[in-house]
A and B are shown apart, each in its own frame.
Chain A
């Protein structure tokens, strides 16, 4: 005990310093908001950092389970995507119009095979007779322009004879004066952006830039814009003129087509047959 007392006495400066300094620090912390805040903040940040580090380790250890659950989820989502792909939502897009007796119904179909650089080009789409598609229905493109006619149908698929085909004739008019003509791709034409309008009588005045629209005959609704006249002076030698037009639609990037169902197509056809017969 005596020795302890001597020890303390001998180093009294140090012990007194510790005591007084502690009092000073305590005073500082008790009475100064700033220092207290710093203390609290730094302890918070220390604790927070420790937890963050711990979290990193925990996350790493959990990677296996996370991987497994992600793989499972992925598989489920992929299955769902496949289901969605096989469901064709456009099948149900037909509007049942019983009031207005709407003449045209539009079905969308996806192009699964396209060709543009043959002499007779044919498109295959993923809709068939099961979807109500029949031979000779008119086909237009989603934006502007015409595509052609349905050539053949199977239960799930259909082929379309496009405008880029020697057998395709589409009845068109000049938008400004209703002069009838027929739209063909042209005999020696292999440019899918170009087509010709034939059989417009010579007395109509046409200018470059005039718009060509469908006439309403032959399955197409009236007024679908087809293209713009790009050249007028093509000599044919008879009383009709031939116009070169630039098509609005681009056959090379075709992805979807609209197939037009005409409610009255058979009626019109029958009527025209009868009239022809009586001629």
Chain B
């Protein structure tokens, strides 16, 4: 892990959180669907970071988001859940020794793998997020609808961002 990668990730962290907090926070469709683009930062964290550090980063990111969203703990838990899915998925789908690419981005891993990876991670994140937010199963269908629609929206923005930036970089 070189310092360039660390620098990139720090820049990415600030950029994504800035966009999330000041722009996407206000983008809501019919109170149902809202994108959480910042998860892209957690998705494309480089390989080879120890699990504890990964969780710590997720925890910190979630806390920062919570500070701005005024929902202390909700995003944190969701990010931690996302990180668990990320670790599990990478462990299952990739051979730890044969990883050449620095980070699991769309350009590096291919569209199919990345889409599945992002879908699963975002699904876990949003389910935890929305159910913690609602915190009851009374309106289960409504909460689930919100989570799934937001997942579609987030996935769309994540893929779009990946296409815009990483493809160009690798090309």
Q: Which residues of A contact B (CB under 8 A)?
A: 12-14, 16-17, 19-21, 23-32, 34-35, 38-39, 42
Contacts and interface: CB of A to CB of B under 8 A. Distances in A.
Given A16-B55, A27-B66, A27-B76, 4 more contacts: A16-B52, A17-B80, A24-B77, A28-B71
20 contacts: A12-B51, A13-B87, A16-B51, A16-B52, A17-B55, A17-B80, A17-B81, A17-B83, A19-B55, A20-B55, A20-B83, A21-B77, A24-B76, A27-B76, A28-B71, A28-B73, A30-B72, A32-B73, A35-B132, A35-B135
Interface residues on B, range: 20 to 34
Interface in B133-166: 135-136
A42 B71 CA distance: 20
B84 interface: yes
A137 B124 CA distance: 100
B35 interface: no
A263 B153 CA distance: 103
Interface of B: 51-52, 55, 58-59, 62, 66, 71-74, 76-81, 83-84, 87-88, 91, 132, 135-136
Given A30-B73, A32-B74, A23 B59 contact: yes
Among B81, B91, B135, B136, the one with the most A-chain Cβ atoms within 10 Å of its Cβ is B135
Contacts of A16: 51-52, 55
Nearest to B52: A16
B59 to A, nearest CB: 6
Contacts of B66: 27
A34 B136 CA distance: 11
Provide the main secondary structure of the chain B interface: helix
Contacts of B62: 24
A10 to B, nearest CB: 10
Nearest 6 Cβ contacts at the A-B interface: A28-B73, A24-B77, A27-B73, A17-B84, A31-B72, A24-B76
Nearest to A27: B73
A38 B131 CA distance: 12
B84 A32 contact: no
B136 A42 contact: yes
A201 B76 CA distance: 112
B146 to A, nearest CB: 16
A202 B72 CA distance: 107
A31 B76 CA distance: 13
B55 A29 contact: no
A129 B31 CA distance: 89
Nearest to A26: B73
Among A14, A21, A29, the one with the most B-chain Cβ atoms within 10 Å of its Cβ is A21
Contact of A23 (B52, B76, B83): B76
Nearest to A35: B135
Given A35-B135, A39-B135, A42-B136, A27 B72 contact: yes
B91 A13 contact: yes
